Structure 1
């Protein structure tokens, strides 16, 4: 039996605590990060944070980035008035960190080719390779890139479509496909542009 292909970081930065190998494929089973609470706001969109088994990510730090991103004043609450609450079950959407092959399966029929993340129905699927390493134009800004991933894919859940860069050196809209290119814009992980 052969072991799955892996990718390892080429030059870890201080923002990259996960220096483990990222498997190309995983079992397709997920562990829910516990600690989800209740909210007094019944209109809040509920979500779970789940990590595919075998991935080297800290459940607590992964959930913390997602939680902090969705609660931030620069997030969807500022633009759409949408609030969020993390739960352990009974969620409106599942935010999954998945190996590239599992991402491809969960995102089908969208062709992610092991390289990008997606939203598919009530699933927000974050590609583990992108979560671990980001993209070159976010080099040294991995936490910001992770915030972008969460906000971009949750934006699709909220009905937002892809957009283009509004002009050179402008802050990139969060719905710009920043994983591929900034199109001349400046990186920006937030829906609310200052």
Structure 2
């Protein structure tokens, strides 16, 4: 279920607070196939920066994720990441995702921006209403999938697990929800 009592403003300042990565990321040596990223939350949103960053870190580090499927790993940095993971108000999402029309409803990947709509981050969708943490996992994996070159996929058949690159935000088309690239 979504976060009870959470209010997501329609718009915000467009200014983001960068979450400090855990530990000393300056000592980290990037490996082959690794992408660096920042976690940034638009000012005024009700998400704890450290907890949100930990959630994203856990998703990107999970064995069911892109490391297993595509050989890609991820490391959070304090600045100048190759990807910017942004949690933004619906109106700011619309601006950052243009020319894609998100209509205040969906998230996107636009260049080095992975823009996660704060309304979706807080409340999920109808198909994930009772499983918002699972929806967040889907959201991160889907948009990062675009960032590393994956296109949308269709439901393979009724009752099958939805591919993570299926646009599950719009519905499951007979598939079962699935937030992970590696469904093995």
TM-score, normalising length: structure 1: 0.89
In structure 1, the partner of 2:5 is 19
Gaps of 5+ in 2: none
Instruction: Deviation per CA, 1:63-114: give whole Å up to 9, x if none.
Output: 1111000000000001100010000012101000000000000000000000
Question: Conserved in 2, the CA contact under 8 Å of 1:18 and 1:57?
Answer: no
Structure-to-structure mapping, 1:1-194, within 5 angstroms = 13=1, 16-17=2-3, 19-36=5-22, 37-38=24-25, 39-43=28-32, 44-194=34-184
Q: Distance in 2 between matches of 1:131 and 1:124?
A: 13
Q: What is the deviation of 1:146?
A: 0.2
Q: Distance in 2 between matches of 1:53 and 1:156?
A: 26
Report the CA distance shift for 1:140/1:100 in structure 2 as closer, same or farther (over 3 A).
same
Question: Conserved in 1, the CA contact under 8 Å of 2:6 and 2:122?
Answer: no
Instruction: Deviation per CA, 1:34-55: give whole Å up to 9, x if none.
Output: 1254333333200000000000
Q: Distance in 1 between matches of 2:53 and 2:109?
A: 18
Q: What is the deviation of 1:21?
A: 1.0
TM-score, normalising length: structure 2: 0.94
Question: Conserved in 2, the CA contact under 8 Å of 1:76 and 1:191?
Answer: yes
Report the CA distance shift for 1:40/1:174 in structure 2 as closer, same or farther (over 3 A).
same
In structure 2, the partner of 1:10 is none
SS of the aligned residue for 1:22 comes to coil
Q: What is the deviation of 1:18?
A: 6.1
Q: Distance in 2 between matches of 1:41 and 1:139?
A: 37
Structure 1 ranges of 4+ moved more than 6 A: none
Gaps of 5+ in 1: 1-12
Instruction: Figure out how many residues of one structure are paired with residues of the other and give that number.
Output: 180
